[in-house]
Structure 1
């Protein structure tokens, strides 16, 4: 199981790595996942740092991660599925291709969470959400950024989010 439905912890079995809200950057740097898949970092200049990782295979899907640290703690987790047929630049991009990514992301989440979405919305933009006591897992197509992606949002007060291994 990639995402633990009890606490939102992501377990990357091939790298023996757990990703969770509150994880320190120093701990991440020492994981096999970081050592093998780290691609680049972007300093947002507000105390937030985004770390991007190359694709890895999970249950037949190519999946990439973007992890956002505030100062030294993991705060935001974004993911995305990828296929060779996806647009590689704006000349190849179409809304139809991007909606295909959105639907593929939804299928991926339903498969790994072993449940249908709790909520589906068409407005203000297409989204799919899986609700849990600790937070939610979501997928969205955002026409403003012309992108589709998935993520995990944690409830602010839920103590199961922090270091629950």
Structure 2
């Protein structure tokens, strides 16, 4: 299982790595996942740093992770599926292609969570949300950024 439905922890078994809100940057940097798949970092100049990783295969999908740290603690977890036919730049991008990514992300989440979304919305943007006692797992197509993303939100009281 990738996302533990009891607590929202992401288990990357092939890298013996667990990703969770509040994880320290030191813990991430010592993980096999970081050592093998780290790609780049972006300092957004607000105390937040985004760490980007090369994709890994999960249940037949190529999945990439973007991890946002505030200071030295993991704060935001985002993911995305990828296939060869996806747009590689603006010249290849179409809304139709991006909606395929959105639908593929939804299928991926339903498979790894072994359930259907709790909420489906069309407005203001197409989204799917899987609600749990500790927070939620979401997928959205955002036309403002012309992208589809997935992620995990944790309830504030779950902070460690």
TM-score by length of 2: 0.99
Unpaired runs of 5+ in structure 1?
none
Question: How many pairs are equivalent?
Answer: 160
- What is the CA–CA distance in structure 2 between the aligned matches of 1:99 and 1:79, rounded to whole Å? 16
**Which residue pairs with 1:133 in the alignment?**
133
4+ runs of 1 displaced by more than 2 Å?
none
Give the 3-state SS of the residue equivalent to 2:124 in structure 1: coil
Give the 3-state SS of the residue equivalent to 1:144 in structure 2: coil
The structure whose RCO (Cα within 8 Å, separation 6+) is larger is 1
TM-score by length of 1: 0.96
Unpaired runs of 5+ in structure 2?
none
- What is the CA–CA distance in structure 1 between the aligned matches of 2:57 and 2:16, rounded to whole Å? 14
Q: CA RMSD in A?
A: 0.6
**Which residue pairs with 2:36 in the alignment?**
36
Give the 3-state SS of the residue equivalent to 1:157 in structure 2: helix
Could you give the per-residue CA deviations for residues 106-137 of structure 1, whole angstroms, max 9, x where no partner exists?
00000000000000000000000000000000
- What is the CA–CA distance in structure 2 between the aligned matches of 1:60 and 1:17, rounded to whole Å? 19
**Which residue pairs with 2:142 in the alignment?**
142
Alpha-carbon shift at residue 75 of structure 1 (Å): 0.3
